[in-house]
Amino acid sequence: MSDKIYIISDGTGQSAVNIMKAALLQFNEPNIKLSVYSMVHEEVQLRSILEHAKIDNSVIACTMVGTVNRSIVRQFCEENELPFIDILGPSLDTLAQHLNKTPLETPGVLRKVDEKYFKRIEAMEFTLTHDDGKTLRGIAEADLVILGLSRTSKTPTSFYLAQQGFKVINVPLVPEVPISEEIYKIDQNRIVILMMEPEVLQKVRSARLRHYRTTSTYNNINKIFEEVEFCYELVRKNRKWNMVNTTNKSIEETAREIIHSVYGRDMEL
């Protein structure tokens, strides 16, 4: 078998690279090489690449939005008995039938610099400025305000959401420190409290303390129970606030639950 996979694309080919890397991880095949041919538009160029793939007896993975070139690759692979992975084709065909529309067949539209790109950049800059309670200036612009106890994943969750285009402010919750009045002046539905089960939070904080080789009441289980109860009390008093339990959840899962809680499942990004 060939130790190479040919990736042919009329765009950047990055989608195919990501998919093939993810698939290869399931077979523990780190030595497989990905030979990437991007921006392939001309038939002469395409057929030359296919001939090289034939010599190497390689798998061919294709992300081509153009129907003609995609058909050329499929036919060549069938005639020469080469394994062929059509990554975009089935999705395009199914959607065309379902939507009763013809695909644009325009390569690279996913990566065009557009309003959404600039929105994400702006959101990331906003979130960086407002990380960990640095400032509440601009809170009226925030799409989400995340409150949370220490080590409940406020910062990584905020930056993940910012990458999706959300302007996020995150603020540490400390029972002894009053919550700023500014937080009560915005739409209360946009406020989310992150919490974690006390025993798990203790483990997370204990690991943090070992890293810094110091002692503190920071990981005292009784203190943590009090902090968690403080969070529940805040939600009882502020009925419009949302609470998300981050225990044993990935950042992606936490972020998805936040979006669903505040904006619903059908929000268009």
Q: Over its length of 269 residues, how does the chain's per-residue pLDDT go in tens digits? A: 568 899 999 888 888 998 998 898 888 766 788 999 999 999 999 999 999 999 999 999 999 988 899 999 999 999 999 999 999 889 888 998 999 998 877 776 655 555 777 888 999 999 999 999 999 999 999 999 999 999 999 999 999 999 999 999 999 999 999 999 999 999 999 999 999 999 999 999 998 888 776 657 899 999 999 999 999 999 999 999 999 999 999 999 999 999 999 998 655 44
What's the burial of 163, exposed, middle or buried (CB within 10 Å: 0-12/13-18/19+)?
middle
Q: What is the pLDDT of residue 269?
A: 46
Please state the pTM of the whole predicted model: 0.62
Q: What is the pLDDT of residue 71?
A: 94
User: Cα separation of 91 and 223, whole Å?
Assistant: 53
User: Cα separation of 179 and 185, whole Å?
Assistant: 12
Element (H, E) at 158: helix 154-163
First to last CA, the chain: 43
Q: What is the pLDDT of residue 25?
A: 86
Q: What is the pLDDT of residue 30?
A: 64
Which one, of 49, 48, 44, lies nearest residue 7 by Cα?
49
Q: What is the pLDDT of residue 216?
A: 74
Instruction: Look at strands 242-245 and 144-148 and give their pairing.
Output: unpaired
**DSSP code, position 228:** H
Q: What is the pLDDT of residue 103?
A: 82
β-partners of residue 37 are 8
